[in-house]
């Protein structure tokens, strides 16, 4: 392989590609820059300046107001309590839907049974059912179960709705695991859970990362289920952000709105920054079969 001498210029095509990528990155990062800079500006500076200007006298007052836990009755002005509501909803929902989806995918890939293809097809259809279709029957079910307007109701809804996706991901990944490994373990007397624990689970880190990121993003960013099934004490941060932006009285506080939007988006942003590479690896790892 030829080695480029020091100081050699990039080919024109590659330089153009890098320039295009830089422009695309700039285009997509510009809204984030505007949000950050606006959140550190005062209202007077926002009115007098330009959106792209850096804050002349940075202040974190808007962030404190957006996060504030001041409550009057059942309503809270800041995002803090609702942020923790989202965590209490998202973490168990992600863990449950991922683990159940893993077992479902394992069964559909390596423990074939009569009607397995029908079950898998039905689950795939479930991936394309809009949220709005399940609102009325789910509300009725939660009411009969005594779970209406609770965090547990939101966990249940997101687990049920997410199972179709997690099962699909895991099944398509597990069909790439050699069938001979499972058959050999069965011959040696290993049962369902022993094979899963000793063979399947240790190979599943990439697809687990995919499901963790996918489910956490979907659940954290959900608004419809949160506003319909969450009571005043169980509403997620997306609902609180909507209330913060749309119910402000008097002068519109754009700096507070921008700070609140960043606070609401921060967990998913950090998740992709830390584990984004595993998401891509996991999606491509099971792409050979299935």
Cα separation, 228 vs 238, in Å, equals 12
Measuring CA to CA, how many Å separate 265 from each of 21, 130, 242, 257?
A: 24, 23, 13, 12
Residues 6+ apart with CB under 8 A from 184: none
Strand locations in the chain (E): 71-72, 75-76
How far the first Cα of the chain sits from its last, in Å, is 37
**What is the pLDDT, as a whole number, of residue 216?**
93
How far is Cα of residue 41 from the mean position of the Cα atoms in its chain?
Answer: 29
Domains (range + CATH), the chain: 13-59 (no CATH), 71-285 (1.10.3720.10)
Report mean pLDDT in 10-residue bins for the chain, 290 residues: 56 85 92 90 83 83 81 61 92 94 90 82 82 85 86 91 90 86 85 88 88 91 88 86 76 85 91 78 58
According to the model, what pLDDT value does residue 125 have?
83
Q: Which two tokens stand for residue 24?
A: 């695309």
Residue 74's pLDDT is: 46
Chain segment 154-164, per-residue pLDDT in tens: 999 999 988 98
Rounded to whole angstroms, the Cα distance separating 131 from 238 reads: 16
pLDDT at 290: 43
pTM as predicted: 0.82
pLDDT attached to residue 232: 78
Task: Report strand pairing: 75-76 vs 71-72.
Answer: antiparallel
Both tokens of residue 243?
């209330």
Instruction: Quote the distance between the C-alpha of residue 92 and its chain's center.
Output: 13
């Amino acid at each position: 392989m030829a080695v480029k001498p020091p100081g050699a210029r990039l080919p024109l095509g590659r330089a153009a590609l890098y320039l295009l990528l830089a422009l695309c990155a700039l285009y997509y990062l510009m809204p984030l820059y505007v949000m950050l800079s606006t959140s550190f500006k005062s209202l007077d500076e926002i009115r007098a300046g330009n959106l792209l200007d850096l804050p002349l006298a940075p202040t974190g007052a808007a962030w404190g107001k957006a996060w504030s836990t001041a409550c009057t009755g059942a309503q809270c002005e800041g995002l803090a309590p609702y942020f923790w509501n989202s965590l209490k909803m998202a973490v168990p929902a992600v863990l449950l839907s991922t683990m159940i989806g893993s077992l479902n995918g394992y069964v559909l890939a390596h423990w074939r049974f009569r009607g397995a293809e029908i079950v898998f097809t039905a689950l795939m259809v479930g991936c394309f059912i809009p949220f709005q279709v399940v609102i009325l029957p789910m509300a009725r079910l939660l009411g009969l179960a005594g779970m209406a307007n609770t965090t547990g109701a939101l966990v249940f809804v997101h687990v049920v709705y997410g199972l179709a996706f997690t099962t699909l991901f895991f099944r398509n990944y597990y069909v790439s695991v050699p069938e001979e490994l499972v058959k050999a373990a069965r011959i040696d007397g290993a049962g369902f859970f022993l094979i899963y624990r000793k063979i399947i689970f240790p190979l599943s880190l990439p697809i687990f990362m995919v499901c963790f990121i996918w489910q956490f993003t979907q659940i954290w960013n959900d608004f419809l289920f949160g506003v319909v099934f969450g009571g005043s004490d169980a509403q997620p941060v997306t609902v609180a952000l909507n209330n913060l932006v749309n119910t402000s009285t008097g002068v519109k506080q754009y700096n507070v709105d921008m700070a609140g939007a960043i606070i609401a988006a921060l967990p998913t942003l950090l998740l992709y920054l830390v584990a984004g590479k595993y998401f891509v690896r996991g999606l491509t790892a099971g792409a050979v079969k299935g």
